[in-house]
Structure 1
Amino acid sequence: MIDFWLAAGLLLLVALSFLLIPVLRSRRAQLEEDRTALNVALYQERVAELQTQQEEGVLNAAQMDAGRAEAARELLADTEGVAAPRVSRLGKPAPLLAAVLVPVLALGLYLHFGASDKVELTREFSQPPQSMDEMTRRLERAVAAQPDSAEALYFLGRTYMTQDRPADAAKIFERTVNLAGRQPELLGQWAQAQYFADGKQWSEKIQALTDEALKADPKEVTSLGLLGIAAFEGQRYQQAIDYWNRLMEQLPPDDQSRVALQGGITRATEKLVASGGKVAEAPAAKPAARLKVHVDLAAELKGKVQPGDSVFIFARATSGPPAPLAAKRLTVADLPATVELGDADAMMPQLKLSNFPEVQLVARISRAGQPTAGEWVGRSQPLASSTTAPQTLTIDSPDK
Structure 2
Amino acid sequence: MLNCSQSLSTDELAMRKPLWTPVIVSVLIGGSAAGYYLLSDYKALETQQAVIAAAPFEQLSLSQMSDKRILTLQAKLYDDKQNAKLWYQLGNAYMYNGEYDNAVLVFDYAIRLTPSPTAMHYSAKASALYYANGQHLTADVQVLLEQALALEPNNQTALMMLAANEFMNVRYQQAIDLWVQLLDSDQQGLDRVSIINSINQAKQFIQ
Deviation of the 1:252 alpha carbon: 4.2
Q: Within 2, Cα distance between the matches of 1:238 and 1:206?
A: 22
> Aligned runs of 1:257-296 on 2, under 5 Å?
257-273=191-207
The residue aligned with 2:95 is 161
Report the CA distance shift for 1:126/1:221 in structure 2 as closer, same or farther (over 3 A). closer
Query: How far did 1:272 drift?
Result: 2.6
**Equivalent of residue 120 in structure 2, options 167, 185, 189:** 185
Q: 1:256 offset after TM fit, Å?
A: 6.2
**Structure 2 Cα separation of the partners of residues 230 and 242 of structure 1:** 13
Q: Percent identity?
A: 26
Q: Matched residues in 1 for 2:193 and 2:66: separation?
A: 26
Q: Give the aligned residue type for 2:137.
A: W
Contact 1:224–1:243 (8 Å) recurs in 2: yes
Give, in whole Å, the separation in 1 of the partners of 2:71 and 2:206.
45
How far 1:127 moved relative to its partner? 6.1
Distance 1:272 1:160 in 2: 38
For 1:217, the equivalent position in structure 2 comes to 152
Inter-partner Cα distance in structure 2 for 1:195 and 1:129: 35
Residues in 2 aligned to 1:161 and 1:233: alpha-carbon distance in whole angstroms = 22
Bigger Rg, structure 1 or 2? 1
Query: Which residue is equivalent to 2:55?
Result: 128
SS in 1 for 2:170: coil
Structure-1 separation of matches of 2:53 and 2:97: 23
Q: Please say if residues 251 and 258 of structure 1, whose CA atoms lie closer than 8 Å, have aligned partners that are also in contact.
A: no
Q: Per-residue deviation at 1:146?
A: 1.5
Distance 1:256 1:217, change over 3 A: closer
What code does the residue aligned with 2:122 have?
Answer: L
Distance 1:239 1:217 in 2: 19
Give the match for residue 44 of structure 1.
none
Distance 1:215 1:133 in 2: 34
CA 1:168 to 1:245, structure 2 compared with 1: closer, same or farther past 3 Å?
Answer: same
Hey, what's the Cα distance between the residues in 2 that align with 1:191 and 1:260?
A: 22
Is the 1:129–1:135 contact (alpha carbons within 8 Å) kept by the matching residues of 2? no
| Greater relative CO (CA pairs within 8 A, separation 6+) | 2
Partner-residue secondary structure (3-state), 1:164: coil
Amino acid aligned to 2:125 = W
Runs of 4+ in 1 over 6 A off after TM superposition: none
Q: Which sections of structure 1, spanning at least 5 residues, go unmatched? A: 1-124, 274-400
Instruction: Say which structure is richer in helix.
Output: 2
Q: Residues 174 and 272 of structure 1: is their aligned pair in 2 closer, same or farther, counting only changes over 3 Å?
A: farther
- How far residue 268 of structure 1 moved from its aligned partner, in angstroms, is 1.8
The 3 A distance-change label for structure 1 pair 129 and 228 is farther
Q: TM-score, normalised by structure 2?
A: 0.65
Which of 104, 108, 114 in structure 2 is aligned with 1:170?
Answer: 104
Structure 1 residue aligned with 2:176:
241
**Structure with the bigger percentage of strand:** 1
> Deviations along 1:180-223, whole A, 9 cap, x unmatched?
13321111111111111100112111111111211222122211
Counterpart in 2 of 1:195? Answer: 130
8 Å contact kept, 1:161–1:169: yes
Partner of 1:320 in structure 2?
A: none
Q: Secondary structure at the match of 2:55?
A: coil
Task: Tell whether the 8 Å contact from 1:244 to 1:265 is kept in structure 2 after alignment.
Answer: yes
- C-alpha separation between the residues in 2 aligned to 1:222 and 1:256? 10
Work out the number of aligned pairs and report it.
148
Please provide the CA RMSD for this pair: 2.1
What amino acid does structure 2 have at the position aligned with 1:266?
A: N
Does the C-alpha gap of structure 1 residues 153 and 269 become closer, same or farther in structure 2, counting only changes over 3 Å? same
1:31-46 pair list within 5 angstroms: none
Partner in structure 2 of residue 58 of structure 1: none
Partner of 1:206: 141
Q: Distance in 1 between matches of 2:67 and 2:96?
A: 11
1:283-305 superposed Cα distances (whole Å, 9 cap, x missing partner): xxxxxxxxxxxxxxxxxxxxxxx
Change (3 A) 1:203 1:150: same
* CA–CA separation in structure 1 for the residues paired with 2:56 and 2:127: 27
